[in-house]
Amino acid sequence: MPQTPSTRWCPTPEQLMILEEMYRSGVRTPNAAQIQQITAHLSYYGKIEGKNVFYWFQNHKARERQKLRRRLGRHQQLLHYQLHQSEDAPPPPPSPILQHHMPPHFLHQGATSQGLDLVGKLETVGMEEEEEEEPMTSAMGFEQEWMATMDVSSAVPPCCRPLKTLDLFPVKSTGLKDECSSSKSSSCSTSTN
Amino acid sequence: MPQTPSTRWCPTPEQLMILEEMYRSGVRTPNAAQIQQITAHLSYYGKIEGKNVFYWFQNHKARERQKLRRRLGRHQQLLHYQLHQSEDAPPPPPSPILQHHMPPHFLHQGATSQGLDLVGKLETVGMEEEEEEEPMTSAMGFEQEWMATMDVSSAVPPCCRPLKTLDLFPVKSTGLKDECSSSKSSSCSTSTN
DNA sequence: GCAAATTAATGATTTATTCAAG
DNA sequence: CTTGAATAAATCATTAATTTGC
C-alpha cells in the first residue's frame, strides 16, 4: 500500500484533541518557541511539522471566530422577539448558570450552595477582533451527581410525585462570556411543536 | 407581525453556550428530570422546550461521534506513519504542554465520591473508539410523547402547577411509542439529499 | 450593494439495533 | 422467543450563511 504521497498533514485524533484542548485553554497564536514545543510534543503521535501547528491555530481561530460571529448575528437580528416574551426578565443575567433568577421551584434541594460560587467573571469579548475566547478560569462545578441522586421509583403518574429529584445541574461556566448579554432571541418557535 | 411562525427552535447564543458547556462537562443523554432542569434554566434565555434539549443532546452527541469517526478514519490512513516513526508508541502520555498554559479547569469539586468521572474521560485523549458514556442514565425515551409534557416555560401540567416541585418522570410507564409493526412512511429512501 | 440561488448547519423525525425482562 | 424500553444511526426539512449575477 502506497503511503499516500502525503500532500498535507493529517492530524491524528490525539493531535487534534490536544490542539483543541490547548485552544480551549487559551492558546491562540503561539510563538515560534511554543510552536516548537507543541510540535515536539505532538510529533509523538504522528508526523507533524511546525507549520502544521501554526496553520492549525490560524485556521481554527478564524473558524471559531466565524462561528461565533454567526451566532451573534443571528442573535442580534432577532433580539426584538425576546422583549415581549418576558417583560421583566433582567436583560443581562449573570453568566453563572444558577442564580437568584432561578424559579424557586427548581431550587428545592439546597444543593445550590455549592454552585453559588460559580459566578464567573463576566467578560466582554471583543468578538470579531481576535479575542473571542478568553482563558476560562472558572472552576467547573461538579459533575452530574444528580444522576446518582435520582431516585426513580416505579411507574408514577406523570406528575404530582413529590419524590426527591436531583440536585442542580452541573453546568459550570467555563468562560461564559455571553456575547450580547442584553439581548436574547428566538425568532423561531412560537408554536408548541 | 413577523413572528416568523418558525417551526423549529433556534437556540440563543446563551443557550447554546450553556448546552455546549454541559456537553463538555460530560452530559450526554440527560434523563427527563435533568432535561426539565436544563430546560427550566435555559428558558430564562429564550423560548425552549424539553424536547429541544433532548434533541440537542442527541444530535450533538451523534455529530460529535461522527466527527470523531472521521478523524479516526483519517487516522488509520496514516497509521503507518507512526509505526515507523517510533517503535511502539506507548499509550498516550500525559500532555505536559498544557500544564502551564492553563490551570486545570476541569477539576471538579470533589463534591461527590460517586465515582462519576465523566469528565475525566473528556480529558482522555487516546480513545480509539469514541468517548463512551457510562450506561446509567436510561430514563426516558418515549420518542416524543413525553416531550409534550415537558414544558417548563408555559404550559405547566395542571396537576402539579401550584407545587413547583420538579416531578420525576416515570422512567417506565406509558409506552406510547408506536408499535414497530405499524409501518409508517417510507422515509428510508436513499434519495438525494 | 442587493437579492436570488446555492451550500452548509443543524433542529426534528424516523428507523434500526441493542439489551433486559418475562 | 417475544416484548418493550432506550439509544444510536440515518434521514428529512428548515434555517442561516455564502456565493453569484446584476
Residue B74 banded pLDDT, cuts 50, 70, 90: low
> What does the pLDDT average to over A151-162?
33
Work out the mean pLDDT of chain A and round it to a whole number. Answer: 52
Interface residues, strand D, Cβ cutoff 7 Å: A 66, 70-71, 73-74, 78, 187-188; B 4, 6-8, 10, 28-29, 31, 58-59, 61-62, 65, 133, 137-143, 171-175, 177, 179, 187-191, 193
Q: Which of A23-27, A109-113, B32-36, B158-162 has the highest mean pLDDT?
A: B32-36
pTM given for the model: 0.53
Residue carrying the nine cell digits 426578565: A89
Residue B52 banded pLDDT, cuts 50, 70, 90: very high
Quick count: other Cβ atoms within 10 Å of Cβ B86?
A: 12
Q: Which of A117-126, A173-182, B141-150, B167-176 has the highest mean pLDDT?
A: B141-150
Reply yes or no on whether the pLDDT at B141 is more than 70.
no
Greater confidence, A93 or B20?
Answer: B20
Q: What is the per-residue DSSP string for B52-93?
A: HHHHHHHHHHHHHHHHHHHHHHHHHHTHHHHHHHSTT-PSPP
Reply yes or no on whether the pLDDT at A158 is more than 80.
no
Q: Quick one: A5 exposed, middle or buried, by C-beta within 10 A (0-12, 13-18, 19+)?
A: exposed
Greater confidence, B36 or A132?
Answer: B36
Q: What pLDDT was estimated at residue A118? A: 28
Reply yes or no on whether the pLDDT at A21 is more than 60.
yes
CB contact under 8 A, A152 and B137: no
